[in-house]
């Protein structure tokens, strides 16, 4: 019960005063569930402050700095044992995969609804309860360790439902997660409408929310391996 009522202490790391102010207002409005324990506008300050404050979650943004951000994430998670949640703008060139490899526990889109952002903090904080990686935009669990399905059955992996065409689309998206429908359609030789329809089917089958979810699911479950030449089946089936 105490795990549900404790205050989650959040440290903000961003060089933009407006972003810091907005996040602080958003998080502190959820007291006593969570509160901002500190702010850092440089990565060096973030490392120093983290060791002083020992927050539960670090809300981390990528920005120009003398220190390399991935090394800072690694320092926060390994030395200070802080759970890092990356804040990503929809069009920011953030190396999501590398951030996870460095130790980040999740990514939340800056454009996500306020409730999604606060839920991302909660889910990342409680990762040890079974959530493997929390991703946002709406937050969905990539996988759960050591827990049986709610219906009591040992279900087969969701991605076994995917067709060859859907797997090809996933590989195209993983290759360029920020690509627009038009670019993906051009690469695969299909229409944007077909891309949209198949992507919707994929989200439904895998119980995912957005591309961030999809990329991490694909990386985690080995869906990036090439099984057929790119575009091998799209032309005749579009």
Q: Which CATH number fits domain 2-141: 3.40.50.1980, 1.25.40.10, 3.40.50.2300, 3.40.30.10?
A: 3.40.50.2300
Local structure of residue 82 (DSSP, 8 states): P
Question: For the chain, where do the domains classified as CATH 3.40.50.2300 start and end?
Answer: 2-141
Q: Which residues of 122-156 are buried (b: 16+ CB within 10 A; e: fewer)?
A: bbbbbbeeebebbbbbbbbbbeeeeeeeeeeeeee
pTM over 0.85: no
Evaluate if residue 44 carries a pLDDT over 80: yes
Helix ranges (H only) for the chain are: 2-5, 17-28, 43-53, 69-78, 96-102, 114-125, 164-175, 181-188, 192-206, 211-220, 234-237
Q: Residue 128 to residues 95, 144, 149, 176, 225: CA-CA distances in angstroms?
A: 24, 10, 18, 31, 30
| CB contact at 8 A, 99 and 70 | yes
Average predicted confidence (pLDDT) for the chain: 79
Evaluate if residue 5 carries a pLDDT over 70: no
The CATH number of the domain covering residues in 158-237: 1.10.10.10
Q: Cα(103)–Cα(107) distance, rounded to whole angstroms?
A: 12
Question: For the chain, where do the domains classified as CATH 1.10.10.10 start and end?
Answer: 158-237
Evaluate if residue 226 carries a pLDDT over 80: no
pLDDT in tens, 96-137: 778 888 888 888 888 888 988 998 899 888 864 333 334 433
């Amino acid at each position: 019960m105490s795990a549900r009522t404790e205050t989650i202490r959040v440290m903000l790391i961003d060089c933009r005063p407006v972003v810091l102010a907005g996040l602080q207002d958003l998080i502190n409005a959820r007291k006593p569930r969570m509160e901002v324990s500190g702010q850092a506008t440089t990565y060096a300050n973030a490392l120093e402050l983290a060791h002083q404050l020992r927050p539960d979650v670090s809300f981390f943004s990528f920005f120009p700095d003398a220190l390399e951000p991935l090394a800072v994430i690694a320092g926060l998670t390994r030395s200070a044992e802080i759970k890092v949640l990356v804040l990503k703008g929809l069009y920011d060139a953030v190396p999501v995969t590398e951030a996870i490899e460095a130790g980040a526990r999740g990514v939340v889109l800056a454009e996500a609804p306020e409730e999604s952002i606060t839920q991302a903090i909660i889910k990342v904080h409680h990762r040890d309860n079974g959530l493997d990686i929390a991703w946002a935009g709406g937050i969905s669990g990539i996988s759960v360790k050591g827990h049986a399905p709610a219906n009591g059955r040992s279900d087969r992996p969701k991605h076994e439902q995917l067709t060859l065409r859907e797997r090809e689309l996933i590989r195209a998206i993983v290759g360029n997660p920020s690509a627009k429908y038009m670019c993906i359609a051009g690469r695969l030789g299909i229409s944007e409408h077909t891309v949209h329809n198949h992507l919707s089917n994929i989200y439904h089958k895998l119980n995912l929310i957005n591309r961030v979810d999809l990329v991490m699911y694909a990386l985690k479950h080995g869906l990036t391996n090439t099984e057929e030449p790119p575009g091998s089946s799209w032309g005749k089936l579009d």
